[in-house]
Amino acid sequence: MTRETLMPSILIIGGGLAGLFTALKLAPLPCTVLTPVPLGQGASSAWAQGGVAAAIGEGDSIDSHVQDTLVAGAGLCDEAMVRLMVSEASERILDLLAFGVPFDRDLEGKLVQSREAAHSHHRVVRVRGDMAGRKIMEALITAVRETPSIRVIEGAEATELLTGTDGAIIGARAVKDGRVLRLEASHVVLATGGAGQVFAVTTNPKEAWGSGLAMAYQAGARLVNMEFVQFHPTALDIGRDPAPLATEALRGEGAKLVDRHGERFMPSLHRDAELAPRDVVARGVFASIQAGNGAFLDCREAIGAKFPEMFPTVHAACIAAGIDPVNGLIPIAPAAHYHMGGIAVDADGAAMGVKGLYAVGEVAHTGVHGANRLASNSLLEAVVFGARVAEALKGVEAGTVQMQDDGPAQPAPADDAAFFQRIRHLMQAQCAVLRDAKGLQAALGEIAPCRERLGHAGALARIASLMVEAALSREESRGGHSRTDFLASWPDKVWSIQQRGSGLRVERLSGP
Ligand SMILES: Cc1cc2nc3c(=O)[nH]c(=O)nc-3n(C[C@H](O)[C@H](O)[C@H](O)COP(=O)(O)OP(=O)(O)OC[C@H]3O[C@@H](n4cnc5c(N)ncnc54)[C@H](O)[C@@H]3O)c2cc1C
């Protein structure tokens, strides 16, 4: 079968901000959205605490937002894509308002914007302090439920992309209620989110383990810069998986990072101390924990009694763990938070290497984040490129995605869950905040043999191996990637690592 013989139809895999926004912008063109859990659950989007970056405030400019993004990306951003994203921000904020998102406004009715680390201006639109993600998703889910052209299939986990004899997309397989579903589609949009769960300590939901990357790679798509993972410096260290986040805005309000002796450790590491770039703070927190001194957020003086009202989400997580953030210290640790690498796509979200495949949101590599993401640029990326994918698909005379039951799903191997956890712990130990060749090679030696396994552990091993191989190949420290055996970065020799099939290709972006 080839794509040409199929009835045109659009399948979106993933029901986070990227997937739902794409579906809404496609309307009235029909599409089908798959999610493994009920809408609103299992998506990082609903957990976002900061908001959406958009240069729409007085005194701010597109140039300034572009510049801040390029600086954070440490030489690896695609400047044209950054400019495109930043320039389309205001229209997408208007879309979100039209879908009913209750962004905070001041007494004059203007949108309130907060300032986050490494932004030169107050630029982040938010909802009631730290509720942005939840409120954005609530509004979009309501809009999706009211849009007849969008069919949502909840409880369906995609496991494989289907390609025709010519290598182009013809659909996907998914598992729902123990049965295999075969879904025929001429256009598949992957919106499966991030890959934080590749690591044992992460802020990402259980569903964010990189299944979209695994499916795309298997289908022949090109993955780019897999080694770049952003570790958030202040996840709550309370033994929960995933680890709840203590938003950066706490430090923005003046909270301090201290060790168990009450000593601040950031001032000696960076002139901006607690407000240094995320990767610098993550390394500082990691080093303090490794030295046996622990790491804590001290919000007592800066926030104190205002904590419950200003940061309701963080407050609730602390209280549930028996921590009183008003009067005591909050234990924290760095956690895998955002994956800068992903499926290489063009400005319309079309994946390179597989006709009919699109990717949007965190699973995609558009080039806007480079080696390190600027805070609150990811929700922006999801809506800007979601709208662009929808626009690119507008010409498709799409009908309904055809589905058939392909029989009972094969049960996962009995030791699937155990191997899955083993790989996560290996990645945490050897490929997290600080990396070196010895540790990376040791991890690869143990993970690589698992790549042939069936079930989730096999797919996770394939993704983890790609990350480790790319981390080994990048013999420098840049952005979120820190090699203790290669501390310097090579400013005159900037390259991007591309992985496809059995090959690993290095594309020189600048330098001799
Ligand atoms: C705690 C936290 C706070 C954050 N705060 C901010 C912030 O303030 N601002 C900002 O810009 N960014 C923030 N980020 C990052 C941002 O939330 C994500 O990058 C963004 O939401 C990604 O959107 P997405 O739609 O691509 O993925 P998601 O929202 O994660 O959605 C992915 C969807 O795909 C589904 N899925 C996964 N695998 C499959 C499969 N195999 N089959 C079917 N469906 C599948 C998932 O269940 C989910 O529905 C934060 C992230 C976290 C974890």
Q: What is the pLDDT of residues 52-87, one digit of tens each?
A: 999 999 999 999 999 999 999 999 999 999 999 999
- C-alpha 486 to ligand 1 mean position (Å): 32
Catalytic residue among 123, 278, 300, 474: 278
Q: What is the pLDDT of residues 113-123, one digit of tens each?
A: 988 878 899 99
> 306 and 361 in one domain?
no
Residue located nearest, by CA, to atom 38 of ligand 1: 192
pLDDT at position 512, please? 58
Average pLDDT, the chain: 95
Using DSSP bridges, classify how beta strands 223-224 and 494-500 pair: parallel, antiparallel or unpaired: antiparallel
Which structure tokens are listed for 411? Answer: 């049960």
CA 242, 131, 383: angle at the middle one, nearest 5?
A: 90
44, 93, 144, 381: which to mutate for ligand 1, most atoms within 8 A of CB?
44
- C-alpha 45 to ligand 1 mean position (Å): 4
> 156 and 262 in one domain?
no
Whose structure tokens read 């659950």? 41
- For 318, list phi and psi in degrees, rounded to 5: -65, -50
pTM (two decimals): 0.96
DSSP class of residue 451?
A: G
CATH number, domain of 122, equals 3.50.50.60
C-alpha 112, offset from chain centre: 25
Q: What is the pLDDT of residues 251-277, one digit of tens each?
A: 988 999 999 999 999 999 999 899 888
- The HSE-up count of residue 421 (CA atoms within 13 Å, CB side) is 5
Q: What atom of ligand 1 comes closest to residue 21's alpha carbon?
A: 25
CATH number, domain of 476, equals 1.20.58.100
Q: What is the pLDDT of residues 334-343, one digit of tens each?
A: 999 999 999 9
> 135 and 214 in one domain?
yes
213, 229, 379: which to mutate for ligand 1, most atoms within 8 A of CB?
379
Residue located nearest, by CA, to atom 3 of ligand 1: 48
- Domain edge (last residue) among 355, 386, 407: 407
The one-letter amino acid code at 351 reads A
Catalytic annotation present for 278? yes
The mean pLDDT of 19-41, rounded to a whole number, is 97
Quote the number of domains for the chain: 3
Residue located nearest, by CA, to atom 13 of ligand 1: 48
Alpha helices in 209-302 (DSSP H): 211-219, 249-252, 278-290
DSSP class of residue 411?
A: P
Pick from 392, 387, 327: which is nearest to 85 by CA?
A: 387
What is the CB < 6 Å shell around ligand 1? 13-19, 34-37, 42-45, 47-51, 132-133, 157-158, 191-194, 203-204, 207-208, 211-212, 245, 338, 361-363, 376-379, 382
- C-alpha 44 to ligand 1 mean position (Å): 3
> 222 and 192 in one domain?
yes
Give the bridge partners for 32, in sequence order: 11, 151
The one-letter amino acid code at 468 reads V
What percentage of residues in the chain have a pLDDT greater than 90?
A: 89
- C-alpha 445 to ligand 1 mean position (Å): 30
Q: What atom of ligand 1 comes closest to residue 42's alpha carbon?
A: 47
Confidence label for 511 from pLDDT (cuts 50, 70 and 90): low
- Could you tell me the residue range of the domain that residue 298 belongs to? 231-336
Q: CA torsion, points 193, 195, 201, 205, in degrees to nearest 10? A: 30
> 421 and 401 in one domain?
no
- The HSE-up count of residue 43 (CA atoms within 13 Å, CB side) is 31
> 391 and 313 in one domain?
no
> 80 and 65 in one domain?
yes
The mean pLDDT of 173-179, rounded to a whole number, is 98
Q: What atom of ligand 1 comes closest to residue 159's alpha carbon?
A: 41
C-alpha 418, offset from chain centre: 25
192, 197, 381: which to mutate for ligand 1, most atoms within 8 A of CB?
192
DSSP class of residue 401?
A: P
- The HSE-up count of residue 264 (CA atoms within 13 Å, CB side) is 17
CA dist 94 and 120 (Å) reads 23
- Domain edge (last residue) among 287, 311, 336: 336
- C-alpha 57 to ligand 1 mean position (Å): 26
CA dist 373 and 245 (Å) reads 17
CA dist 175 and 442 (Å) reads 34
The one-letter amino acid code at 202 reads T
136, 378, 381: which to mutate for ligand 1, most atoms within 8 A of CB?
378
> Does residue 484 carry a pLDDT above 90?
yes
The mean pLDDT of 332-361, rounded to a whole number, is 97
Pick from 193, 153, 181, 178: which is nearest to 42 by CA?
A: 193
- C-alpha 268 to ligand 1 mean position (Å): 34
Residue count (the chain)? 512
Q: Return the H-helix or E-strand segment holding 296.
A: strand 296-298
Q: What atom of ligand 1 comes closest to residue 203's alpha carbon?
A: 53
pLDDT at position 467, please? 98
Residue located nearest, by CA, to atom 6 of ligand 1: 48
> Does residue 1 carry a pLDDT above 80?
no
Give the bridge partners for 343, in sequence order: 223, 364
pLDDT at position 430, please? 95
> 80 and 165 in one domain?
yes
Residue located nearest, by CA, to atom 48 of ligand 1: 43
> 203 and 150 in one domain?
yes
Which structure tokens are listed for 178? Answer: 């123990």
Using DSSP bridges, classify how beta strands 503-510 and 229-236 pair: parallel, antiparallel or unpaired: unpaired
Beta carbons of 41 and 133 less than 8 angstroms apart: no
Q: What atom of ligand 1 comes closest to residue 157's alpha carbon?
A: 42
What percentage of residues in the chain have a pLDDT greater than 70?
A: 100
> 332 and 346 in one domain?
no
CATH number, domain of 317, equals 3.90.700.10
The mean pLDDT of 240-248, rounded to a whole number, is 92
> 37 and 154 in one domain?
yes
Which structure tokens are listed for 374? Answer: 């600027």
Confidence label for 278 from pLDDT (cuts 50, 70 and 90): confident
> 236 and 223 in one domain?
no
Q: What is the pLDDT of residues 148-158, one digit of tens each?
A: 999 999 999 99
C-alpha 3, offset from chain centre: 30
- For 7, list phi and psi in degrees, rounded to 5: -75, 130
pLDDT at position 114, please? 85
The terminus-to-terminus CA distance of the chain in angstroms comes to: 46
- Domain edge (last residue) among 407, 436, 453: 407
The mean pLDDT of 372-396, rounded to a whole number, is 96
> Does residue 239 carry a pLDDT above 70?
yes
Q: What atom of ligand 1 comes closest to residue 50's alpha carbon?
A: 8
Q: What is the pLDDT of residues 391-438, one digit of tens each?
A: 999 999 999 999 999 999 999 999 999 999 999 999 999 999 999 999
pLDDT at position 249, please? 82
Q: Which long-range contacts (CB under 8 A, 24 or more apart) does 79-83 make?
A: 81/347, 81/366, 81/367, 81/368, 82/367, 82/368
Q: CA torsion, points 286, 287, 288, 294, in degrees to nearest 10? A: 40
Beta carbons of 422 and 206 less than 8 angstroms apart: no
C-alpha 199, offset from chain centre: 13
408-435 CB burial, b ≥16 within 10 A, e <16: ebeeeeeebeebbebbbebbbebbbbbb
